[in-house]
Amino acid sequence: MQVQVLMYRQDDPKKCTAAKIVKFGLARNIKKTSSKTLILDPFAPKTILPEDKKLVNSVTGIDCSWTLAGKTFSSKFSGIPRKLPPLFAGNPVNYSKINKLTTVEAISAALFILGFDDDAKQLLEKFKWGHTFYDLNKNLLDDYSKLENEKEIPSLLQQYGLKLDSNE
pTM of the entire structure? 0.89
Q: Are 84 and 110 in contact (CB under 8 A)?
A: yes
Cα–Cα distance for residue pair 83/26, rounded to 1 Å: 22
In the β-sheet with 80-82, what is the strand arrangement from edge to edge? 28-29, 2-7, 58-63, 37-40, 80-82
Residue 73 lies in a domain: yes
Q: Which pLDDT value is given to residue 78?
A: 85
Longest C-alpha distance within the chain, in Å? 41
Strand partners, 81: 39
Cα–Cα distance for residue pair 139/88, rounded to 1 Å: 11
Residue 164 lies in a domain: no
Residue 51 lies in a domain: yes
Residue 167 lies in a domain: no
Q: Is 156 helix (H, G, I), strand (E, B) or coil?
A: helix
In the chain the beta strands, taken as DSSP E runs, fall at 2-7, 28-29, 37-40, 58-63, 80-82
Show the domain range for 20.
Answer: 2-159
Cα–Cα distance for residue pair 2/75, rounded to 1 Å: 23
Residue 166 lies in a domain: no
pLDDT tens, 88-129? Answer: 999 998 999 998 999 999 999 999 999 999 999 999 999 999
Q: Which pLDDT value is given to residue 7?
A: 80
Cα–Cα distance for residue pair 121/157, rounded to 1 Å: 23
From the number of C-beta atoms within 10 Å of its C-beta (0-12, 13-18, 19+), residue 165 rates as exposed
Residue 165 lies in a domain: no
How many domains in the chain? 1
Q: Which pLDDT value is given to residue 77?
A: 81
Q: Which pLDDT value is given to residue 162?
A: 85
Concatenating the DSSP letter of every residue in 68-130 gives GHHHHTTS--SSEEEBPPP-B--SSSSTT-BT---HHHHHHHHHHHHT-HHHHHHHHTTSTTH
Residue 116 lies in a domain: yes
Range with top average pLDDT, 64-78, 118-132, 149-163: 118-132
